Amino acid sequence: MKKELVFRGAATALVTPLTKDGVDYEAFGRLIDWQIGQGINALVIAGTTGEGSTLTDEEHREVLRFAAEKAAGRVPMIAGTGSNDTAYAIDLTRYACTVGYDAMLVVTPYYNKATQKGLVQMYNAIADASTKPVILYNVPSRTGVGIEPATYVELAKHPNIVGIKEANGNISKIVETFALVGDELAIYSGNDDQIVPILSMGGAGVISVLSNVAPKETVSMCRKFFEGDVAGSAGLQKEYLPLINALFSEVNPIPVKAAMAAMGFGEDYLRLPLTPMEDAHKKILLGIMREKGFI
């Protein structure tokens, strides 16, 4: 790896506990402490799972500041600073650099999309403005635009661009990306059902929704693989697949918000256009969580 790893293993794409009155900082602080106590390798704040796109600008900045202060350097901290407005993404990135973040996670520009040329120029502009490393976030099912493997080759040339959260779901394209830039960029699974397959190609870990509920187990899945216990790692991937499927039975973060509320970390409250989980899906999710001893 030609660029230094921000983290190796499992990073939680952390939920942001909300109420009708705003951010529940008491629950948020307890959640951060619990995650670190469970051995998580890093935390991602105000990303997709953290409902960053529905936070006001003031809330987004305060959530970032609070989380960095609460973590107090105990684990690497990664700020979700992506936007479809490049100027805003640059401004938020600069702010996160000043309040203690170790890296930025920058999603592709949703709705207005962009050509591959536009993506290169956008990411280079954000990376130029950042004093910390940048991890690219590719999730075309949500944003409507994907980063092509050949585009990663161009982006890898920037000294501040160090990694990829790859959630395109297309294993063939992911293998091609490893072949082209696997020695240049750290590649993290962005899908919990593909952790071990991506590790098997040389992946550096996962940025996970599952680890909100099961941080210790998600860390163990990665650690076993790195230690050579591939069968043990694969066993955990298969064991937790029903929980993963339940956590994605509705659009993220609807199910994981219900899960974290059941575990005592805030209310089951989301901002429109997201709505609470359907009862039938919630019954399955909570049933699996009880079976596994999470509630």
- Condensed to tens digits (0 to 9), the pLDDT of residues 19-36 reads 999 999 999 999 999 999
Per-residue confidence (pLDDT) for residue 200, from 0 to 100: 97
Q: Which SS3 state, helix, strand or coil, does residue 19 take?
A: strand
Q: How many CB atoms lie within 10 A of CB 149?
A: 18
**From 137, 152, 188, 240, the catalytic residue:** 137
What are the pLDDT digits (tens) for 122-180?
999 999 999 999 999 999 999 999 999 999 999 999 999 999 999 999 999 999 999 99
**From 70, 132, 165, 224, the catalytic residue:** 165
Task: Report whether CATH 3.20.20.70 matches the domain 9-292.
Answer: yes
Per-residue confidence (pLDDT) for residue 9, from 0 to 100: 98
Euclidean distance between the first and the last CA atom of the chain, given in angstroms as a whole number: 40
Of 111, 115, 105, 138, give the one whose Cα is nearest residue 7: 105
Of 212, 284, 206, give the one whose Cα is nearest residue 49: 212
Average pLDDT, the chain: 97
Asked if 176 and 138 count as a contact pair (C-beta separation under 8 A), the reply is no
152 has catalytic annotation: no
User: Which stretches of 156-226 are DSSP H helices?
Assistant: 171-181, 195-200, 210-213, 215-226
Q: Is the confidence at residue 182, as pLDDT, over 80?
A: yes
Asked if 194 and 218 count as a contact pair (C-beta separation under 8 A), the reply is no
Pairing of strands 186-189, 9-13: unpaired
Q: Residue 253, preceding bond cis, omega within 30 degrees? A: yes
Asked if 162 and 133 count as a contact pair (C-beta separation under 8 A), the reply is yes
Q: How far apart are CA 233 and CA 221, in angstroms?
A: 5
Query: What does the domain layout of the chain look like in residue ranges?
Result: 9-292
Q: Residue 52 half-sphere exposure, CB side, CA atoms within 13 Å?
A: 23
Q: How far apart are CA 209 and CA 14, in angstroms?
A: 7
What are the pLDDT digits (tens) for 30-80?
999 999 999 999 999 999 999 999 999 999 999 999 999 999 999 999 999
Per-residue confidence (pLDDT) for residue 3, from 0 to 100: 82
Q: pTM of the full predicted structure? A: 0.97
What are the pLDDT digits (tens) for 74-106?
999 999 999 999 999 999 999 999 999 999 999
